Amino acid sequence: MESTDEMQLEKAKSVVPLNTWILISNLKLAYNITRRPDGSFNRHLAEFLDRKVGANISPVDGVSTMDVNIDRVTGVWARIFIPVNFQSEESREDKIPVFVYFHGGSFVHSSANSAIYDAVCRSFAKLCRAMVISVNFRRSPEYRYPVAYEDGFTVLKWIQLQALTALGNAWLPSNADLSHCFLVGDSSGANIVHHLGVMASTADLYPVCICGHILLMPMFGGMKRTPVEIRLDGQYFVTIKDRDYYWQSFLPEGADRDHPACNIFGPYSEDLTTVPLAPSLVLIASLDLLQDWQKEYVQGMRDSGKKVELVVLEHATVGFFLFPNTEHFHRVIDAISSFVKRSI
């Protein structure tokens, strides 16, 4: 008689390709052994296990990358992905939008040069034909809320600087359209997207203009346990316990999960009706245990008068988009591309 553990493993294996399953299970394992029961985090082991990859200005598979310092003092840097145009028919002056990308990892794991996120950003750059700026923001538990949001804002100001001065001319592709910027992120990165979007809405960023938010499986939460959370706990790579751990390490000491960084439309929510936010595209995986929170977010945004497009990917688990080997992946690319086109 199979144990429940094994049954769960079988279930997850049946909905994702085998290599994806191996990747996500391996990540899950690596994350498990770095989270200590006392709430502390084994950063050394986490960095040891993370697979990193360098930038490469020589285009690889149609995308060229380079790393830039954003802020010397804080050490924030970013990796820039530039799709190389080698189809002669395409007009070379066609403007391409800019994605400012925030990688996932529950605020704790991964970096802009993590191999998995380098691959994801390359896909976005190539398939969505965008210049992607993947931010290496500071992570918890070393740097808690609101540092990640602030680092994101610093990047926006940096992009503004490149545009306003002649600096950008030296390295920015002339077809990169800074007036069409999108904030893009997955998981905790998508959480950053929302909050950064709010910060940016009242800031002077001209000529940088944020045309849209793209949130892939955004990480939100709250004190209550939603039915989906309970039902899917531990079923598809993610547990309530690990979500709690990461909130604990990100939110200010003493705060609980109803803190507005986590629970956007909870008891301490900010009124967003007068905040001019760009339209959002929210992509939800139907096997993600956070989907109730994600749907609450969508509803809350709509109730605040914001345009939100929602795409639910049936039978998709967290992390499905890390490999371009499912229908879901291509649906995501299509959804993003079409959203971008319409938002410009």
Partner 1 sequence: MDQMLDVLCSHDKHHKDGDGHSVAAVDHGSIASRPAKNQLHEAGSNGAPSSTLGKEMTAVNVGVDELLANAGYKVRASELQQVAQRLEHLETVLGAAQEAALSHLSTEAVHYNPSDLASWIECMLEELAPNFPVDSLPHLHSFDQSAQVSGCLMDDPQACGRQNQQSHQEDDAHSNIVDYSEEFILDYEETQYGSGFNDHNLNGIFGNICSLEQLGRKREAGMKQGFELNAQGMHQREQKRGKHSITQPCAYSGSSQEAYSQTSDNPVVFSSVYGSNQASLRPMGSCIHQPTLLQDGSDGAQESGVRLVHLLLACAESVQRDDLIAAEELVRDIRVLAAPQKGPMRRVATEFVEALARRIYSFNSQDTIGNQRDSLSELLHFHFYETCPYLKFAHFTANQAILEAFENQKQVHVIDFNLMHGLQWPALIQALALRPEGPPFLRITGIGPPQPGGNDVLQEIGVKLAQLAKSVNVEFDFRGVIAAKLDDVKPWMLQVSQGEAVAVNSIMQLHRLLYSENSATPPPIVEVLQSVKSLNPRIVTIVEHEAIHNSPIFLERFTEALHYYSTMFDSLEACNLPAQSLELMLAETYLGREICNIVACEGAERVERHEPLAQWQMRMCNSGFQPLHLGSNAFKQARMLLTLFSGEGYAVEETGGCLTLGWQSRPLLAASAWRC
Query: What are the catalytic residues?
Result: 187, 288
**Shortest distance in whole angstroms from residue 37 CB to partner 1:** 5
Could you report how far apart the first and last alpha carbons of the chain are, in Å?
Answer: 56
Among 208, 262, 301, 322, binds partner 1 (CB under 8 A): 322
Please, which of residues 56-75 interact with partner 1 by CB under 8 A?
56-62, 64-72, 75
Q: Which residues contact 165 (CB under 8 A, 6 or more apart)?
A: none
The 10 Å CB-count burial string (b at 16+, else e) for 134-158 is bbbbbbbbebbbbbbbbbbbbbbeb
**Which stretch in 78-86, 97-105, 180-188, 215-223 sits in contact with partner 1 by CB under 8 A?**
78-86
Among 7, 11, 32, 207, binds partner 1 (CB under 8 A): 32
> Is 248 an interacting residue with respect to partner 1 (CB under 8 A)?
no
**Which stretch in 173-181, 274-282, 288-296, 331-339 sits in contact with partner 1 by CB under 8 A?**
173-181
Interhelix angle for 327-343 vs 115-127, to 10°?
50
Nearest CB to partner 1, comparing residues 167 and 223? 167
Phi, psi of 163 (to 5 degrees): -75, -40
**Shortest distance in whole angstroms from residue 91 CB to partner 1:** 9
Among 77, 102, 245, 293, binds partner 1 (CB under 8 A): 77
Nearest CB to partner 1, comparing residues 141 and 260? 141
**Which stretch in 20-28, 191-199, 240-248, 305-313 sits in contact with partner 1 by CB under 8 A?**
20-28
Question: Which structure tokens are listed for 317?
Answer: 């688990």
Nearest CB to partner 1, comparing residues 42 and 269? 42
Among 146, 260, 279, 324, binds partner 1 (CB under 8 A): 324
**Shortest distance in whole angstroms from residue 306 CB to partner 1:** 33
Q: What is the DSSP pairing of strand 176-186 with strand 131-136? A: unpaired
Q: How many residues touch partner 1 (CB under 8 A)?
A: 86
Nearest CB to partner 1, comparing residues 138 and 295? 138
> Is 174 an interacting residue with respect to partner 1 (CB under 8 A)?
yes
Kindly write down the DSSP assignment for every residue of 224-271, as one continuous string. Answer: SPPHHHHHHTTTSS--HHHHHHHHHHHSPTT--TTSTTT-TTSTTPPP
Please, which of residues 201-230 interact with partner 1 by CB under 8 A?
none
Please, which of residues 124-163 interact with partner 1 by CB under 8 A?
136, 158, 161
Question: Which structure tokens are listed for 70?
Answer: 């954003």
> Is 240 an interacting residue with respect to partner 1 (CB under 8 A)?
no
Q: Which residues contact 304 (CB under 8 A, 6 or more apart)?
A: 271, 272, 273, 275
Burial class from Cβ neighbours inside 10 Å (0-12, 13-18, 19+) for residue 337 reads middle
> Is 99 an interacting residue with respect to partner 1 (CB under 8 A)?
no
Q: Given the structure tokens 């001209």, which residue do they identify? A: 206
Nearest CB to partner 1, comparing residues 30 and 198? 30
**Shortest distance in whole angstroms from residue 4 CB to partner 1:** 9
> Is 241 an interacting residue with respect to partner 1 (CB under 8 A)?
no
Q: Please give the DSSP secondary-structure letter assigned to residue 313.
A: E
Q: Given the structure tokens 């809405």, which residue do they identify? A: 201
**Shortest distance in whole angstroms from residue 179 CB to partner 1:** 16
> Is 22 an interacting residue with respect to partner 1 (CB under 8 A)?
yes
Contact between 235 and 286 under an 8 Å Cβ cutoff? The reply is no
> Is 271 an interacting residue with respect to partner 1 (CB under 8 A)?
no
Per 3-state DSSP, what percentage of the chain is helix, strand, and coil (rounded to 5)? Answer: 40, 20, 40
CA distance 188 to 309: 19
Nearest to 129 by CA among 197, 78, 175, 67: 175
Question: Which structure tokens are listed for 159?
Answer: 């992009």
> Is 112 an interacting residue with respect to partner 1 (CB under 8 A)?
yes
**Shortest distance in whole angstroms from residue 126 CB to partner 1:** 11
